[in-house]
Structure 1
Amino acid sequence: MLSRNVFILAAALIAAGVVGSFALAALDVSEIDRCNSLYHDTSYEQAITCYQALGSEGISVEILYNIGNSYAQLDQTGRAVLHYLRAQCLDPDDSDISGNLSLIRKEKGLFPKDPSLTEQFFGLFSVTQWSLVCLSALVIYLVFSLFRKNKRRSLLVESLVIILCSTLLVLGASGTILQYQQWHHSVVINDSRLLISPFNSASSIGQIQSGRLVMSHKQHNDFHYITDETGRKGWIQESVIEKIMP
């Protein structure tokens, strides 16, 4: 039988997944149209300001995607990639988001490493969707437990239900954790030097391009020790990176 502690842990993961997700905004259609008009008039900076004003009341996939498009038109690759990734966290199945993200990375030579089969699998759903997988495991088990009180069930049936629920619980928890880890990656906003130590006077290992995805391991004053998508490690100024999940 699944222990009570497992259910408590699963409930915590579900709550974390749902509460930790971006809040979706109820968009004012007329305001969106005004922002879109600015974009189509090639007033990209004004369009960004307009979209960001809408986003102050809550985040939506459409706002993040449109901001990403505007930054792409301004050739601000880092901020474009950042907003595409934020939009993708909310809707990983959106082909427009993934298409534009792939296009800008290809144009700028930002080729990420090929994801492993595990990363591909757990990238199929968002953090909220993986949390719902955990929830489905709990619901199935609770329904089975209530039904079992009224009728005797074979040990085989009970074992199969427990295996099913355990599998869903493990997959859901793993997906939730891995998606959260991805949210805590950062994007390089501006081209910068990768340094051997956390000082402005330090020698440079090389350049790191805007739009690169990096993972910060530790911080010293205004510098972060990071690993980029290609496996390079070094120190970078905090001002040139921004987290996917703000």
Structure 2
Amino acid sequence: MKQTDYSYTRSLMVFALFLLWSFATANAQQGSLFETGNELYNQGEYQAAIDTYKEILAAGEHSPEVYFNMGNAYYKMDRIAPSILYYEKALFLDPDDEDVKVNLAYARNMTIDDIDALPKTGFAKLTRGLLGAFTYSVWSYLAIVGMLLFVLFFIGYYFADREGRKRLLFAISGGWVFLSLLCLLFAFQQRKWERNYDPAIVFASETTVKSEPNLGSDEIFRLHEGTKVFILDAMHDWKKIRLADGKEGWLPAEELQRIKDF
């Protein structure tokens, strides 16, 4: 019996070591590909660098650094739509990266369409800024922490022997309930926003936005390469899109590349 337990433990250790070795090897390979891509970029071999970065993406590794470097390589090749697409991907993963923001602004200056975003009210800005402070998962964790603190303070209130202390602990526990429910509401709202937020980049050099999802419908307006749109709906091979200025219409799906495709 002891020999069997020993063999089982040894097998688990071997399996754990194998997993650690596999992860370390995979990370080393991805790091090597990233360095190779950077070397090719520095040598001016931009397409080769892009192909190398794509190998990293094909392995399921998505990082703002890889997307940023791909955006730079496409920008050097004067391919505006792909450069904007990959800058946007990098910014989606790391919204506070100033280098990405600067390079994205340069790339956008080379687009034809000049679209002014609809002005937001002060309340809308405040709400969006507050919800966007954390992801829905972080808001959910905060709600759980708030509920745990409520339980702890309520237990303290239940066992407190002084009237003043009981009132204080009861008030604090009630405050944690309120904050927990508020965080839970924020989590649901942020999750809803993240699901509905589906930006894309126009890849056609010029395209006609239609009033309905078919070629025979009326033309509403035209868009050009590199313009950012937001996908609202899909029907067959068409996507309903909205611009930052509020205009809506239908485009062939093949003329768009989604930013959140990972």
Paired residue secondary structure (2:225): coil
Higher relative contact order (CA 8 A, sep 6+): 1
How has the CA–CA distance of structure 1 residues 219 and 160 changed in structure 2, closer, same or farther, with 3 Å as cutoff?
Answer: closer
Equivalent residue for 2:79, pick from 62, 76, 81: 76
Helix, strand or coil at the partner of 1:108? coil
Would you say 1:131 and 2:165 are equivalent positions?
A: no
Pairing 1:67–2:70 present: yes
What CA distance in whole angstroms lies between the structure 1 residues aligned with 2:130 and 2:48? 37
How far did residue 122 of structure 1 move? 5.0
**Cα separation, 1, equivalents of 2:62 and 2:177:** 38
1:156-235 maps to which residues of 2 (within 5 A)?
A: 156-182=171-197, 184-191=198-205, 192-200=207-215, 202-235=217-250
Change in 2 beyond 3 A, CA 1:144/1:120: closer
**1:111, distance to aligned residue in structure 2 (A):** 4.6
- Cα deviation for residue 193 of structure 1 reads 1.9
How big is the shift at 1:146? 3.5
Cα shift at 1:181: 2.4
1:100 paired residue number? 103
In 1: Cα distance, 2:48 partner to 2:204 partner:
21
State how far apart, in whole Å, the 1-side matches of 2:130 and 2:193 are: 7
Once the two structures are TM-superposed, the CA of residue 210 in structure 1 deviates from its matched residue by: 1.9
- Of the two, which has the highest radius of gyration? 2
CA RMSD of aligned residues (A): 2.7
Q: 2:199–2:230: 8 Å Cα contact kept in structure 1?
A: yes
Q: Which 5+ residue runs of structure 2 have no aligned equivalent? A: 1-25, 159-165
TM-score (norm 1): 0.76
How big is the shift at 1:50? 0.5
How far, CA to CA, are the matches of 1:37 and 1:123 in structure 2? Answer: 40
The answer to whether the Cα contact below 8 Å between 2:75 and 2:83 also exists between their aligned partners in 1 is yes
Give identity over the alignment, percent: 22
Distance apart, 1:104 and its partner CA: 1.6
Report the AA paired with residue 141 of structure 1: M
Change (3 A) 1:111 1:195: closer
TM-score by length of 2: 0.72
Give 1:26 shift.
Answer: 4.4
Cα-to-partner distance string for 1:91-146 (whole Å, 9 max, x where unaligned): 1111112222222223425555166314751575463xx42122022112113304
Task: Identify which range, 147-156 or 37-46, moves more after superposition.
Answer: 147-156
Whether contact under 8 Å (1:189, 1:211) holds in the other structure is yes
**Aligned partner of residue 207 in structure 1, secondary structure:** strand
Query: How far apart, in 1, do the equivalents of 2:240 and 2:129 lie?
Result: 29
Give the secondary structure class of the aligned counterpart of 2:249: strand
